[in-house]
Amino acid sequence: MVDVSDKPATARRAVAEALVVMDQETLTLIIDGHATKGDVLAVAELAGIMGAKRTAELIPLCHPIALTDIGVEITPDRKASALRITAHAATTGPTGVEMEALTAASIAALTAYDMLKSADRGISIEGLRLVEKRGGKSGVWERTEDREGSRPPTARPVRRTRPTGRGT
């Protein structure tokens, strides 16, 4: 573990992303709300948030961090035949939150797989990676070049409106 005892506490933020690539028919199940295990997007987003809080338990050399923010957003992407996951994490502390953002995206993606696997066992998780990182000695880092050439970071998902009301 890197000793961060003498590093100052600064505001830090990180964003990660992942794609859950599936058949068009499976994507239709989600969009139409017909996935048999329930609301895939809501459950996966929540699992991602909760997973991020366990990062230091899962990743051996990660420091325990008092996260001040975690968020996960998942949007169906017809063109990519995938769910597009974006996760962000923030803290004020001596070390960064890249692993928290990546863990959130990863657990959200695995949860989506779990809820869809009876329909499409061949789903794969692709492009799980850091998008940007702010704060700390190294300052801002942004993904500038796309290694695969297929998922330009400018195509960031916009916040969807989620209907949450349910009658009594």
One of 61, 149, 154, 159 touching its own copies (CB under 8 A) = 61
Sort strands 82-93 and 67-77 into parallel, antiparallel or unpaired.
antiparallel
Instruction: Give me the catalytic one of 23, 39, 77, 114.
Output: 114
Closest to its own copies by CB, 148 or 154: 148
**Cβ distance to its own copies smaller for residue 154 or 168:** 168
Number of residues lying near its own copies (CB under 8 A): 92
User: What string marks each residue from 114 to 143 as x (binds its own copies by CB under 8 A) or -?
Assistant: xx-x---xxxxxxxxxx--x-------x-x
Smallest distance from its own copies to CB 71, Å: 7
Cβ neighbors of 95 (< 8 A, separation 6 or more) are 2, 4, 7, 12, 63, 65, 136
Query: What kind and span of H or E run contains 21?
Result: strand 10-21
Half-sphere CA count of 51, side-chain side, radius 13 A: 23
Q: CB of 95: closest distance to its own copies in angstroms? A: 8
Task: Please state, in angstroms and rounded to a whole number, the distance separating the CA atoms of residues 18 and 8.
Answer: 31
Known catalytic residue at 114 = yes
Task: Report, in Å, the least distance between residue 63 CB and its own copies.
Answer: 6
Letter string b/e over residues 20-39, b meaning 16 or more CB atoms within 10 A of that residue's CB: bbbeeebbebbeeeebeeee
Instruction: Kindly identify the residues of this chain, within the stretch 2-41, that bind its own copies according to CB under 8 A.
Output: 2-5, 7, 11, 13, 18, 21, 30-35, 37-41
Spatial separation of the C-alpha atoms in residues 26 and 122, rounded to whole Å:
11
Query: Binding of its own copies at residue 97 (CB under 8 A)?
Result: no
Nearest to 54 by CA among 110, 101, 100, 109: 100
Q: How far is the CB of 4 from its own copies (least distance, A)?
A: 5
User: Catalytic residue positions?
Assistant: 114
